[in-house]
Chains A and B, each alone.
Chain A
Amino acid sequence: ETGVTQTPRHLVMGMTNKKSLKCEQHLGHNAMYWYKQSAKKPLELMFVYNFKEQTENNSVPSRFSPECPNSSHLFLHLHTLQPEDSALYLCASSQDGRRTEAFFGQGTRLTVV
């Protein structure tokens, strides 16, 4: 039990599909993050939300659209993805974004075909 739950764990989608990744944290944190982990590349920060407000967008293509309806939930909406977007997408949360450690979910393994 990590306190950060991601669903689904695995997702296969076509390039014309629309899907969403969900992240939920049960830790009372108010900062949430999306990271992308590709083979042979460092972990890439995609988005940061603090108190439901987006504070970082790390030059992510618009085919990735985040949504944070409250401090406990974070979504990543996907549409018209490319095969190179296949990766492990990790959600994390931390307490108030103030130089504290982040807690990670188990990730969603996304394959774009």
Chain B
Amino acid sequence: AQSVTQLGSHVSVSEGALVLLRCNYSSSVPPYLFWYVQYPNQGLQLLLKYTSAATLVKGINGFEAEFKKSETSFHLTKPSAHMSDAAEYFCAVMNNAGNMLTFGGGTRLMVKP
């Protein structure tokens, strides 16, 4: 069974500050990991994905994530937060059969001016 834990259901940062959203996973096979963003009243949009290639993955809107096998983590970062980054962020792991994405509980990011 696979699972994803996102520490912190709410994170607040100031505009221009570093964004760090935490994700830890549990998987019995090499994981395929994803970060999605959801803006209000919208569906989920893919930010980036890890599929066993480079451990540092760059995504859209200046976000990146680093896969650390020893820590079973896939934290999402952005050097400088923008007001438009305010949204909910979901980490997810794909199962080995490739037919089930398991999501974490989500982290709501708030950006203060």
A contacts, CB < 8 Å to B? 2, 4, 6, 31, 33, 41-43, 45, 48, 50, 55-56, 90, 92, 96-107, 109
**A56 touching B45, Cβ below 8 Å:** no
Interface residues on B, range: 20 to 34
A-B contact pairs, 12 of them (CB 8 A): A33-B101, A42-B103, A42-B106, A45-B100, A50-B99, A55-B99, A92-B43, A92-B44, A97-B98, A99-B32, A105-B43, A107-B42
| A105 partner residues in chain B, CB cutoff 8 A | 43
- In the complex, whether B49 has a CB less than 8 A from a CB of chain A is yes
Contact check: which of B49, B100, B104 meets A101 at CB < 8 Å? B49
Bound complex: CA A93 to CA B98 (Å): 12
| A90 partner residues in chain B, CB cutoff 8 A | 43-44
| A100 partner residues in chain B, CB cutoff 8 A | 98
| A50 partner residues in chain B, CB cutoff 8 A | 99
Contact check: which of A2, A41, A101 meets B43 at CB < 8 Å? A2
- In the complex, whether B90 has a CB less than 8 A from a CB of chain A is yes
- In the complex, whether B97 has a CB less than 8 A from a CB of chain A is yes
Bound complex: CA A33 to CA B105 (Å): 19
| B49 partner residues in chain A, CB cutoff 8 A | 101
| B41 partner residues in chain A, CB cutoff 8 A | 106-107, 109
Contact with A along B70-90 (1 / 0, CB 8 A): 000000000000000000001
Bound complex: CA A45 to CA B101 (Å): 8
Contact with A along B32-56 (1 / 0, CB 8 A): 1010100001111110010100000
Contact check: which of B34, B94, B100, B104 meets A48 at CB < 8 Å? B100
| B98 partner residues in chain A, CB cutoff 8 A | 96-100
For B36, B41, B43, B51, which residue has the most chain A Cβ atoms within 10 angstroms?
B43
